[in-house]
Structure 1
Amino acid sequence: MSGPRRSTPRRNLIADPGNPALYTNRAMARLKLSQWDNAIADCHECLRLAPDSMKAHYSLSQAHLALRAYDDALAHALKAHGLCVAAADKSLATITAHVLRCKMDRWNDMERRRVRETSDLEAEMLAMLGRARDEAVREAAAAAADQDEGTRREIGAEWDAKIGRLRAVFEDARPQKEKLRVVPDWAIDDISFCFMADPVITKTGKSYERASIIEHLRRQPTDPLTREPLYPSELRPNLDLKQACDEFLAENGWAADW
């Protein structure tokens, strides 16, 4: 004899299709099952009912990230982060970390494509020069009556030098990215020692990652530097520093995992 049937998210949605929380609950369950498209559909339905649902934007970002839709993942991660800040939600650190992951994965994807395209361009140009060299040598051989062996060798050597210079140009360009793999001190949060995604500034002029300083103030409402009383309402966004961090991260996405 079978027991009573358990209620499922789908049955709840049918019973109360106007409740946005049921869609986010089912979306989160589907994320755990790697049902990305279904999770996205649930998130969109939730956002139709509640456009400012932080959970829906966060879940939608997770699904898009899994599908490698990096631009969409980052857009919804940033939206979730903004809603989280406005609500002073305790999940700020988690969402901030997710924003950084979206930026890093997006940069890694662009970097892979850049490397692949550069490699393809290098191979194509080397092949073109190789064909031109072979043609020049053949023409020199055809005119053997008018040219001695030394002249033909000189022609081949000239083309080999061109090919070598082209290889050197591509080779010299490769290490440039590696030279930037140092994160500047001004971009590092002194509490978590992570790259700052949303820096805020205290009364004393010191900047911290928003999630880190708010978590610190929850435990102890004092300035980490001066030990004077400090409250979340006294923090202000450091827009200039945020712009600098965003610009650095746009060129060096690996720094998100610093």
Structure 2
Amino acid sequence: MAGDTVKAGILKTDGNKRFQNGDFVGAESLYSKAIIADDTNPALYTNRAMARLKLSLWDSAIADCLACLKLNGESMKAHYYLAQAYLELRAFDDAVSHASRAREICATTNDKSLAQVTTLVLRCKKDRWDDAEKRRKRAHRELEEDVLAAMRREKEDSLAAMTPPTADAGGNSSPATTTMEDVGDRRQVAEEWDAKMEQLSRVFESARANDDKRREVPEWAIDDITFAFMVDPVITVSGQSYERASIMEHLRRQPTDPLTREPLRPSDLRPNLALRKACEEFLDENGWAVDW
């Protein structure tokens, strides 16, 4: 049931002023009082979430955004702030999901925040890829260490097996007499194991070198306006594809096709679904492309 909307509105306005002046604690307090006055206004929850993000209160910000979405499931700000909070908590899949949903809402409503939200989508995907890369490289290092350690143990066991003990007249074990031939055999076995370990080390080193080699982004994935990696490409009447956020910003300033200079309206744009899928697949495997 709606509460005192007038009181809530006054508190919200005062909270906005506090927020703009950098008083995030004061803003958060006023937004909380506004919610007490009227807990049916979804904007109050996203405003408090915004303040709580500034205060690094990630879980509380998430709770506010979820409360907002119960009242308004299409709140772009709720998804946008959720993505930021989840990103800070390293919940990368949730961050990507909510950032992508915020971008979809922006695209549908022609929201001017589209470019900003698209940047967040890329950041979420980049951070997710970076995290996966760190875990992958750590696993490779651990695998290399484990395999080399196992090979060293096998080498030692092989060498130990080449000098079996002998028993004296009293039944006591003593090392067998080592001949020059035995020394040669042991040296050969040791060298063979060393060669195997060296070869394995080179394989791992080669894999690491491939990770650091020069990387290139395919031209079809680059937006011709901003020269950034595309997330949501759309195609114009002339057949040229652009990132939705960049072409929409261009059309706000100048309603013409960047290539042909012919009149172009937002309604003339069509999603390039095939290119979008290709960009998504490339970015999933090459998160570094965000910073290209």
Q: Is this a same-fold pair by TM over 0.5?
A: yes
Aligned to 1:254: 288
Is contact 1:188-1:194 (8 Å) kept? yes
Aligned to 2:239: 205
1:197-223 Cα shifts (integer Å, max 9, x gaps): 110111111010000000000000001
1:223-251 Cα shifts (integer Å, max 9, x gaps): 11111100110000111111111111111
Is contact 1:200-1:209 (8 Å) kept? yes
SS at match of 1:221: coil
Aligned to 1:184: 218
How many residue pairs match? The answer is: 254
SS at match of 1:200: strand
Q: How does 1:1-258 map to 2 (within 5 A)?
A: 8-142=30-164, 145=178, 147-179=181-213, 181-258=215-292
Deviation at 1:144, TM superposition (A): 5.5
- Cα RMSD between the aligned structures? 1.5
Is contact 1:39-1:60 (8 Å) kept? yes
Deviation at 1:256, TM superposition (A): 1.0
Give the whole-Å Cα distance in 1 for the aligned partners of 2:241 and 2:252: 17
Deviation at 1:145, TM superposition (A): 4.6
Tell me which amino acid in the other structure corresponds to 1:76: H
Is contact 1:52-1:83 (8 Å) kept? yes
- Bigger drift between 109-118 and 129-138 goes to 129-138
Give the whole-Å Cα distance in 2 for the aligned partners of 1:148 and 1:53: 79
Deviation at 1:180, TM superposition (A): 6.2
Larger Rg: 2
Percent identity between the aligned chains? Answer: 59
Structure 2: gaps of 5 or more residues: 1-10, 16-29, 165-175
SS at match of 1:208: strand
Structure 1: gaps of 5 or more residues: none
SS at match of 1:141: coil
Deviation at 1:101, TM superposition (A): 0.4
1:155-197 Cα shifts (integer Å, max 9, x gaps): 1011111111111221122223334611111111111110001
Give the structure, 1 or 2, with the largest relative contact order (CA under 8 Å, sep 6 or more): 1
Give the whole-Å Cα distance in 2 for the aligned partners of 1:180 and 1:12: 54
Give the whole-Å Cα distance in 2 for the aligned partners of 1:244 and 1:176: 23
- Bigger drift between 5-14 and 78-87 goes to 5-14
TM-score of the pair, normalised by structure 1: 0.95
Tell me which amino acid in the other structure corresponds to 1:128: A
Give the whole-Å Cα distance in 2 for the aligned partners of 1:170 and 1:132: 20
Give the whole-Å Cα distance in 2 for the aligned partners of 1:31 and 1:181: 35
Q: Quick one: structure 1 residues 123 and 144, their matched pair in 2 at CA, closer, same or farther if it must change by over 3 Å?
A: farther
SS at match of 1:41: helix
